[in-house]
Amino acid sequence: MNNTVTVLTSPDNNSEFIINPRRAAELNIITKKSIYICFGNQKRYVDIRISDEVLYTNILISKNLMEEMHLPPYPTYEIAINENELIIGPFIGLLMSKENRRLKASFLEKMMVYVKKYSELHGAVVVFALDRIDIDKQIIEGYCYNPIENRFEKGTFPYPCAIYRTIGLNGTWKDHFRVAIGDKLFNSQYFSKWKMHQWLSVDTEINDHIPYTVLYKSEQDIFDMLETFKKIYVKPISGLRGKGIFQVSKDNALYVFKHRDNGSNLTDTFETKSEASEYIKNILANGKYIVQQAINLMNHEGSIIDFRCIMQKDQSNSWKCNAIIAKCSGTSSIVSNISNGGTAFDAEFMFKEVLHLSDYKSAYILNEIKSFAFHSCNKLDELGINCGTLGLDVGMDTNDYVWLIEINNRDPDPTIALDINDVKLYYELKTNPLFYAKALAGFKSF
């Protein structure tokens, strides 16, 4: 069955839905006299009229219903049946800003990347901002993609069936959307490094792959960890891009603190515990931190190597590993982040062309990383964390053992694909979340 349709306005204002008989038979509604029509969170009970005069590729809805439901006629829609509901969609919202003033023409031009695969996606794709939401009427003012004009067109719409957000939301907004559309707002629950540790460490299989970690409370936590591991990391629990991270080690009687600041590698050394203690109090005075065991990661010519494993859900609601990218730190750097001087490589290229590993060893490491990533993502699903795209930073130590470094869950940056000059991958990473949104919107593939 060709599932795409064009929605046309019927010439009268009766609350009815007109459909071709072959289409009605394929949808198994040929004997029905009435049905619910759903668009976003709008739902109307209408009469069904079956007519040979309507083309198979069209459906007709009365003008008053189109207006009441704020249903734009220009998208190419699909239709799905859920018991006695006919869903017109998919209707996907892209919550991209807190302020509508940012959604200028230049911004909307950048949003075109999300509809690059519109011929497979279909439906209403609406970009909107928080300050153009009417929570009482549950309608939004935004910009819907018009495939005919190949641009985003301003309009008023109901709440979408699924929302992909890239901005931070407070608890009030999250609760509002969950009540309004159910658990279809994804990548909305940001979790810190410490929260990730608390959640995943209860899984015995994952816990063995998480470096020993404590929540920083006083400088004594650092000294205690140094007695056990000799080298540790102190990380902001909500830090991004490797900012604010310190590597701490004890070299005989010396306490050595390494970090990056303004693109430079800095080292501070103290001869006494009291001096080190004062230093710790000063640098960790603001914010919350974790103290974590340092792992002896694989390296190349003194530069540490870890991996960004990009996991995304598809239209079947299943996790897929869409890329594994190696990150090699800059010279003497304690972090591998690209924004902090690191270099990105395709993981397979890194193994074979840089590290000169055998095909067997390369395949083994890739499989270990993927297996661990799938297990971690499935565990988050079990915990009720609705994510459609995740960036897992994992490391492989010198004994070929996988370690979880952190999980980027707010809006993993797809530009890492451009760091390895893979433009096609970049576009795929940008558009893939919308196919998971399509599944949430009632158009899951099997």
DSSP class per residue in 269-292: EESSHHHHHHHHHHHTSSS-EEEE
CB atoms within 10 A of CB 232: 25
Q: 319: which DSSP letter?
A: E
Find the CATH number of the domain harbouring 311.
3.30.470.20
- pLDDT tens-digit map of 28-62: 999 999 999 999 999 999 999 999 999 999 999 99
Tokens of 283: 């640098």
Rounded to an integer, what distance in angstroms lies between the CA atom of residue 294 and that of residue 311? 25
Is 300 in the same domain as 423? yes
Domain boundary pick from 89, 122, 155: 89
Is 312 in the same domain as 396? yes
For residue 5, the model assigns a pLDDT of 94
For residue 240, the model assigns a pLDDT of 60
Is 98 in the same domain as 68? no
Is 330 in the same domain as 443? yes
Find the CATH number of the domain harbouring 9.
2.40.40.20
73: in domain:
yes
- Kind and range of the H or E element at 180? helix 171-181
Is 305 in the same domain as 438? yes
207: in domain:
no
Domain boundary pick from 151, 186, 221: 186
Q: Is 211 left (phi over 0), alpha (psi -120 to 50) or beta?
A: beta
Is 242 in the same domain as 145? no
364: in domain:
yes
Q: Which residue has the tokens 């190419």?
A: 76
Sign of CA dihedral 349, 320, 204, 290: positive
422: in domain:
yes
DSSP string, 358-388: -HHHHHHHHHHHHHHHHHHHHHHHHTT---S
For residue 250, the model assigns a pLDDT of 87
Is 162 in the same domain as 281? no
Rounded to an integer, what distance in angstroms lies between the CA atom of residue 269 and that of residue 279? 10
pTM, two decimal places: 0.91
For residue 98, the model assigns a pLDDT of 95
Rounded to an integer, what distance in angstroms lies between the CA atom of residue 231 and that of residue 227? 9
Closest CA to 130 of 166, 162, 106, 155: 166
Is 155 in the same domain as 223? no
Q: From the first residue on, what is the mean pLDDT of each consecutive set of 10 residues in the chain (446 residues)?
A: 86 85 94 94 94 94 92 96 94 96 96 96 97 96 97 97 90 92 86 88 91 92 91 84 80 86 82 90 86 90 89 96 90 68 86 90 94 95 92 92 89 88 95 96 91
245: in domain:
yes
Cα dist. 313→21, 425, 438, 444 in Å?
36, 15, 11, 11
Which structural domain range is residue 320 located in?
296-446
For residue 303, the model assigns a pLDDT of 83
Q: Are 143 and 112 in contact (CB under 8 A)?
A: no
Residue 197 contacts by C-beta under 8 Å, 6 or more apart in sequence?
Answer: 210, 213, 290
192: in domain:
no
Cα dist. 152→91, 105, 131, 142, 197 in Å?
14, 9, 18, 9, 41
Phi, psi dihedrals of residue 84, rounded to the nearest 5°: -100, 30
198: in domain:
no
Q: Which residue has the tokens 């940012």?
A: 102
Q: 14: which DSSP letter?
A: S
Domain boundary pick from 46, 74, 89: 89
Q: Is 348 left (phi over 0), alpha (psi -120 to 50) or beta?
A: alpha
What's the first-to-final CA gap in the chain, in angstroms? 15
For residue 446, the model assigns a pLDDT of 79
For residue 364, the model assigns a pLDDT of 93
Residue 186 contacts by C-beta under 8 Å, 6 or more apart in sequence?
Answer: 162, 163, 164, 165, 386, 387, 388, 433, 436, 437, 440
CA 34 to chain centre: 39
For residue 11, the model assigns a pLDDT of 80
96: in domain:
yes
Is 307 in the same domain as 446? yes
Is 287 in the same domain as 313? no
CB atoms within 10 A of CB 333: 23
Is 178 in the same domain as 223? no
Q: What is the domain count for the chain?
A: 4
For residue 340, the model assigns a pLDDT of 63
Burial of residue 109 (number of CB atoms within 10 Å: 0-12, 13-18, 19+): exposed
Is 60 in the same domain as 72? yes
- pLDDT tens-digit map of 324-339: 999 988 766 777 666 6
